[in-house]
Amino acid sequence: MAASFGHHQPPQNPPSTTRTTTRDGSRVIRVHDSKDGTSFRLGKLVGLQGMSSTSTIKTPPNANGTTAIETTTRVFDKSFLYNAVASFIASKHFNERNGYILPHLPELLKGCDFYFDYEYRDGQWSGREATNQLIQAIETAWSFQRQTANHSMPQESDNHTQTTLQRQQQNNKTSILRPFQADAQALEPFAIYGAYWSSISKTVATVAGGLEIPYITGGSTSAELDGMDMFARTVVTNDVDARAAMVYYHSLGVTQVAIIFIKDSWGINYHASLSKYGAQFGVKVNSFAYDVHSIEKSIIDLKKSQYRYIFAIMHDWKQVIRRAYKHNIIGRPEYVWIGAEEKKWTGSAFQLDRNTEEDLAKALHGVGTINLYFEPMHRFNVAMDAFAFDSELQQEFVAAQADPHIFDNYTFPQYDPTGFTNSIFDSVMALGIAACSIDNSSSGSNDTDLFTGDEFHQTLLQTEFNGVSGHVQFDPSTGTRTAGGLKHSIEYVLLSDGRSDENAFRFHSNMVAVIHDDNILNFHPFVYHDNTTVRPPALPPIEGEVLNLLPLWAQIYGYLLGGLIMMVSIGWFVWVCVKRSVFIVRASQPFFLCQLCVGTFIMGTATIPASFPGASLSFTHDTYNPLNHLGHTHQGAEQTKGMDVACMSTLWLVVVGFTISFSALSSKIWRLSMLMELGSAMRHHLITVKQSLKPFYISMSVNVVLLLCITIFTPLRYQRVLVQGNVDSFGRPLESYGTCQPAASGFYYLLAVILIANVAGILYVIRQAYVTRDLPAAFSDATSLSLAVLSLLETLIVGTPLLVVVQGDPTTYYLVASSMLCLCCLGMLMILFIPKYNKRHYKHRLQSVVNAMTRVASNRSDQSVLSRTSGNINLNTGAPSSRRMRESFIPSFSAISRAEGSGHLSSSATGVMAIRREDGSTALLR
């Protein structure tokens, strides 16, 4: 079946007398047709990419004594064969100015008179063989040149050359070239379309550079080739490929990757780029180089490394994969392999023999591959597909071979897109476009368009066009295609039961993502070997990990201390409520005593959430990734949301509980100080509990606002902190502990403000206790307050440095913190309540009250006297002598004593105790 992709046939030109024009240093000639006066330029393009290998089959001797026979055959690789076909179709479309694949090509080549004579020589994937083929091409040209100079036809010894000439004249469908095939045979190559493998390109390009023959490749990606003499390529370096690979691994969160690579130019440079970009993207690389003699050892070392994500840079992928499968490091759910430039795996025609390659088929199930991604070009794929069914086109391709016999009895397979057919097509097209655009007017030669190798190479590096691989442009300093616009694809491969049969295993693949610079466009989830999309861990589980979890006994200890605080708080709360009518309780203002108990109770509950971070199993085993917890990063917020709440609730409970407790003492003593400081202008002023809560409102407001700021802007979050120095073979810390860490450094500033505010409250309580020190102990609790504050300060001074020292030990830290909290709370409760409890049955002697009030009055500027009126204690203000003051108490003493004896020191109806001045003003204490 003939292809229908738009052959363009120029008019037939019958043979005619010709002459040629040459230029010193140029391998391009101008052919003149003396009959019609037309001329065109002609140059020979030689392709040296390998597409086959030689296989020797030995036939053993039979029973009749026949000697063993060795048969040599060519084994073609379909991917490389169609790379060669792509270069052939490019040269054909250029010569015919065919715009089927590139519609803009005819306009681009308008007025161009340059044509290729295309010759393909199979380099057989060997630098030596490719170089040998190049030398043979040059020697063949020299042979024709000698024959032309002698005006003789080839002799019997040159029958092969004569046969080749006749075949090319017969099968060359570019009619303008057909009459001039003999002239083309005498041409040395003006350019070389080079090898696929970088190691071969390095060898051949070195030779070509010495001969001043430009060399271009569409497949060699080694960065080592950059800047070689007379070199160009229509692909980017593997430096760009490596960056794309690391961008993908980084997007997966994979931080450990093993690289197994072939020890040649391509593999070594690819590996170097992977290491470079691995460091940039935070991916640690462990490398295993191999050659044909060390594959087994490299695979064994790779297995010992226990890396699970493996990036493979291979030439002979079957040998590597087969040995890896043998050692159980591929074809298993825990291993993820990605092969570099193994586009063949994803082809629809890719298959493996069921009898001999079952291990390879199982190994490839769930692997991936990374390749250059070219936007699909329908017409190019149609042209390539048609080749397998177009016998006439196949004959023309075979005729272009230096050794056409290698295709004897060969059936061309169906085309399967490979990773580089697009760029190979464009490499040949770039040569033609550059030759058409060359301008030698500055050379001073009459033949301005017969260029030298150096002139052509300089023009080639300035060439720019839109090809089937995208926009093609070269970096003049390196000869490498610029990376702008090029993308990479990640694909996975799975065994297909539906496509496989009794003879062969076949596969299906899907595009996972397309990578462009740092951007990833996702298409399908990666399906791994276990047929799920669940990404396996990058490394084996950590063995011997020390998590420093809070033991159960430590939690019980903390809960017991917290329970003790809560029980004592509840006990004293109930006692105050029951004994609220007792003089010593009523004089100590029961409301504030109850408030103190509520505050310590809340502080006691903080021991419960404080134990959660140290006992948490979050981020351990399969979910634990130590690298997620370096510094102050917060990973896995959903998994640790409960721990984050525990961290913040502990801070809230401690601060709020402390605020309630100490503000109770502040309010209580502020009430007494206000009583003492009432001015003479005040008349009958009542100081209620609500008015006394002013210190509480201020303190609680300040602390709550600061806590809200912390919660919103820089909350405490649960993290596992790594203990440095104890690591496994992968550099993973084996020891860690859970703790609460602030989300930002602003936490410490806000916490400092909270501490300053509460210390200021403590200092206020101390000052007011000193002011009211002369009041009876039943009223002021100055001594008890002083002892409580001293107990608190002592606990903080001793305990805080200890907390800092044991911060890295969750168990000790929790024990010390719980103990400090217990000492603080019980210290306040016991010091304030035990003296009251001991005096619960004591009848308070009024004389002590009188003496105390006398001392207070004597110390004030407005000398006060105490009298009793209507069941209240009255403080008459004037300027009498101390004696008068004392005398004024005596008449009333018996009455107060009687009132005291009856249990009614103040009004039984209202429970009001009052201080009245001589001018009639009173201060009331309810």
The model's pLDDT over 334-388, given as tens digits with 9 standing for 90+, comes to: 999 999 999 889 988 899 999 999 999 999 999 999 999 988 889 999 999 999 9
- Per-residue pLDDT of 516-567, as tens digits, reads 999 999 999 999 999 999 999 988 888 878 888 889 999 999 999 999 999 9
Tens of pLDDT, residues 161-171: 445 545 444 55
Whether the per-residue pLDDT at 41 is higher than 80: the answer is: yes
Q: Which residue has the higher pLDDT, 865 or 765?
A: 765
pLDDT range class, residue 39, cuts 50, 70, 90: confident
The helix/strand/coil state of 357 is: coil
Pairing state between β 504-516 and 69-76: unpaired
Please state whether beta strands 336-340 and 367-373 pair in parallel, antiparallel, or not at all (unpaired): parallel
H or E segment at 169? helix 159-171
pLDDT digits (tens, 9 = 90+) for 305-320: 999 999 999 988 999 9
Whether pLDDT at 443 is above 50: no
Q: What is the pLDDT of residue 10?
A: 42
Q: What is the DSSP string of 427-472?
A: HHHHHHHHHHH---GGGT-SSTT--BHHHHHHHHHT-EEEETTEEE
User: Among 200, 203, 234, 204, which Cα is nearest to 217's?
Assistant: 234
pLDDT over 90, % of the chain: 48
* pLDDT tens-digit readout, 869-915: 333 333 333 333 333 333 333 333 333 333 333 333 333 333 344 44
Q: How many CB atoms are closer than 10 A to CB 355?
A: 9
pLDDT tens-place string over residues 806-822: 888 889 999 999 999 99
Confidence (pLDDT) at 617? 60
pLDDT at 588: 73
Largest CA distance in the chain: 160
Residue 916: pLDDT band (50, 70, 90) is very low
**Exposed (0-12), middle (13-18) or buried (19+): which is 397, by Cβ within 10 Å?**
buried
Q: Are 923 and 683 in contact (CB under 8 A)?
A: no
Average pLDDT over residues 782-802: 81
Cα angle, residue 485 at apex, residues 481 and 486 outer, rounded to 5°? 65
Per the CB < 8 A criterion, the answer to whether 329 and 536 are in contact is: no
Q: Say how far residue 59 (Cα) sits from the centre of its chain.
A: 57
Helix axes 810-838, 782-805, angle to 10 degrees: 170
Is the predicted pLDDT of residue 484 greater than 80, yes or no? Answer: yes
Residue 326 pLDDT greater than 80, yes or no? yes
pLDDT at 147 over 90: no
DSSP line for 625-682 = -GGGGSTT----TTTTHHHHHHHHHHHHHHHHHHHHHHHHHHHHHHHHHHHHH--TT-
Could you tell me which residues come within 8 angstroms of residue 120 by beta carbon, excluding any fewer than 6 positions away?
A: 46, 47, 84, 87, 88, 397, 400, 401, 402
- Asked if the model's pLDDT at residue 190 lies above 90, the reply is yes
Quick: pLDDT tens for 57-114.
666 666 565 566 667 788 898 889 999 999 999 999 999 999 999 999 999 999 899 9
Q: In whole angstroms, what is the distance from residue 486 CA to residue 436 CA? A: 26
Instruction: Encode pLDDT of 557-603 as tens digits.
Output: 999 999 999 999 999 999 999 988 887 787 777 888 898 899 999 99
What pLDDT band is residue 37 in, cutting at 50, 70 and 90?
Answer: confident
Q: How much is the pLDDT for 74?
A: 83
Give the pLDDT score at 24: 87
